[in-house]
Amino acid sequence: MRRLEWKNGTFDEIDLVYEKVAGNADLERQMEILEIQALKEARKHCVLLQDRSGHILSPRAFDELPQSAKESIIEVFSKWGIQSVEQDIISKTIKIVFSVHIQKILACAMFRILNNLEKFDGALNLIDPSWTLELHVPLGGKKGLVQWEMFIMQLYPWLSVSETSTNQVAEIIENEEIDPDQITRIEHNETLLDKVDSMITAENITGSDIVALLDTLNELDTYYQSPQYKRDFKDDENNLLPENLKRGVLSEDGIYNALTRGYDLISDHIEGLLSKPYWIVDILPEKVPSERGERYAEVEKFYLEKDRHFKLLDKFAEMVIKFSCYHDVYNRYVDKNTWTKNADPDTVCDIMAKTMEKGTLQFFVPDTETLIVINNDDTYLTVYNADERSINLIKALAQSVGLFVWQNADVNE
């Protein structure tokens, strides 16, 4: 779908360029990207222009303009981007000198270049089949040129392209809105969305499946919360993305539902581990008899006093930190969806200390399907579904910090 029709005759040969790209999917997509980028450049920099009443043209006002007016603005900027176009029959050279503005309006300028080249096509190359397009570029102005040089050489095989620097310096683009990585970013996250959809419909989920799902969800969620997602979503709403670009990830309901279903699946899996046999990492070597409950409550209160509680949580943190030398460990607070993989030691200490305020903290060990849980008002860790090697390691780590590990045989039978 063409976004620029050029009905006002601004570029009188440009339709021939569209004819050249027709039927070639790669060239059609490049042309579409060029249109989108030119529209973005015109929208971003339209504040440099005034309307007929002398008012500065805002991006919002640009959005409300008819298509022909937007095309006229692109044509104005295309002139600003190019100082001169000359051809030399003797040296078989077409020389284009870019202005210092080129980085701001590169796509706009490319339309003027294509229109000029179309005028030369069928004329200059009849004189000689090999010509050079010399691009004279201000210092710092070459970013993004290569893809359009390749595009030109595909359209006009009789041309080779060379670059040379002028003694001018290109203007620096501040708060850049044009994003050359946008398409790649959307395609990558679309792949992540498809991966999540596939995972959440799979049967017999294993620990390794949970790891893959966790990592994929975390990456997708990071994109969903990012300014880049908001920009991509807005550009999709404004019809500024290639028509054939798969972009279910930009459906807000689509990505939200996938994230929710994925995190729910993980939560259900974790919930299932809570019914597995468990061990206790405690300040005491075995379970206190029920008749000693009143005294135990006094001792527990003693250890939950702030300073002592911090020291106890530090011991738990030290165990988790050491345990992560042998296994990948993911952590989260139970009221959060996002899991963090192998948090650095300082962070482990910090989040462990914050359980005093934030409630329950979980550590998940995917390769053994082990779950470690600490509640804000407990003086012990609970370790669910630990295999023999893991529990032996936990016993050794507990002993190194002055704690005990015991199992309630009655509950675990």
Residue 64 neighbours by CB distance under 10 Å: 8
- pLDDT tens digits, one per residue of 250-283: 987 889 999 999 988 988 888 999 999 999 999 9
**For 108-127, what is each residue's pLDDT tens digit?**
999 999 999 999 998 898 88
Judgement on whether residues 41 and 160 belong to the same structural domain of the protein: yes
Residue 176 pLDDT greater than 60, yes or no: no
142 and 247 part of one domain: no
pLDDT at 179: 66
How does pLDDT run across 221-246, given as a tens digit for each residue? 999 999 999 989 988 887 777 777 88
User: Is residue 252 located within the same domain as residue 370?
Assistant: no
Residue 412, amino acid: N
- The last residue of a domain, from among 139, 169, 199: 169
Whether 131 and 240 share a structural domain: no
Classify residue 312: in a domain, yes or no: yes
Does residue 174 fall inside a structural domain?
no
Q: What pLDDT was estimated at residue 203? A: 74
Verify that 36 and 146 share a domain, yes or no. yes
Q: Which of the four pLDDT bands, split at 50, 70 and 90, describes residue 175?
A: very low
- End residue of a domain, out of 107, 140, 169: 169
Residues 293 and 342 reside in one and the same domain = yes
User: Do residues 20 and 72 both lie within one domain?
Assistant: yes
Please choose, from the candidates 151, 95, 150, the residue with its C-alpha nearest in 3D space to the C-alpha of residue 120: 95
Asked if 196 and 101 sit in the same domain, the reply is: no
Q: Quick one: 203 and 342 in the same domain? A: no
- Copy the structure tokens of residue 348: 């482990």
Mean pLDDT over 300-312 rounds to: 90
**How do residues 355-385 score in pLDDT, each as one tens digit?**
877 788 999 998 899 999 998 888 999 999 9
Query: Using H for helix, E for strand and C for coil, what is the string for the chain?
Result: CCCCCCCCCCCCCHHHHHHHHCCCHHHHHHHHHHHHHHHHHHHHHHHHCECCCCCECCHHHHHCCCHHHHHHHHHHHHHHHEEEEEEECCCCEEEEEECCCCCCCHHHHHHHHHHHHHHHCCCHHHHCCCEEEEEEEEECCCCCHHHHHHHHHHHCCCEEEEEEEEEEECCCCCCCCCCCCHHHHHHHHHHHHHHHHHHHCCCCCCHHHHHHHHHHHHHHHHHHCCHHHHHHHHHHHCCCCCCCCCCHHHCHHHHHHHHHHHHHHHHHHHHHHCCCCEEEEECCCCCCCHHHHHHHHHHHHHHCCHHHHHHHHHHHHHHHHHHCCCCCCEEEECCCCCCEECCCHHHHHHHHHHHHHHCCEEEEECCCCEEEEECCCCCCEEEECCCHHHHHHHHHHHHHCCCEEECCHHHHC
The reply to whether 9 falls in a domain is no
pLDDT-derived band at 413, boundaries 50, 70, 90: very low
Q: What is the pLDDT of residue 10?
A: 80
pLDDT higher than 50, residue 86: yes
Same domain, 137 and 165: yes
What are the distances in angstroms from CA 28 to CA 24, 40, 119? 6, 19, 20
**Could you tell me if residue 221 is inside a domain?**
yes
Q: Tell me if 6 is assigned to some domain.
A: no
- The pLDDT-based confidence of 337 (bands split at 50, 70, 90) is confident
My answer on whether 98 and 186 are in the same domain is no
Among residues 227, 242, 273, the one where a domain terminates is 273
Q: What is the pLDDT of residues 49-60, one digit of tens each?
A: 876 776 778 888
Q: 5: which 2 tokens?
A: 């029709």
Is 4 contained in some domain?
A: no
Residue 70 forms part of a structural domain: yes
Do the beta carbons of residue 134 and residue 94 sit within 8 Å?
yes
351 with 343: CB under 8 angstroms? yes
Q: Domain residues for 228?
A: 182-273
Is 254 part of any domain?
Answer: yes
Answer yes or no: is pLDDT of 178 > 80: no
Amino acid at 173: I
CB contact set of 6 (below 8 Å; sequence gap of 6+): 14, 15, 71
Burial class (CB in 10 A: 0-12, 13-18, 19+), 384: buried
Please determine, for residue 32, whether its predicted confidence score (pLDDT) is greater than 70.
yes
Same domain, 123 and 77: yes
How many domains does the chain divide into? 3
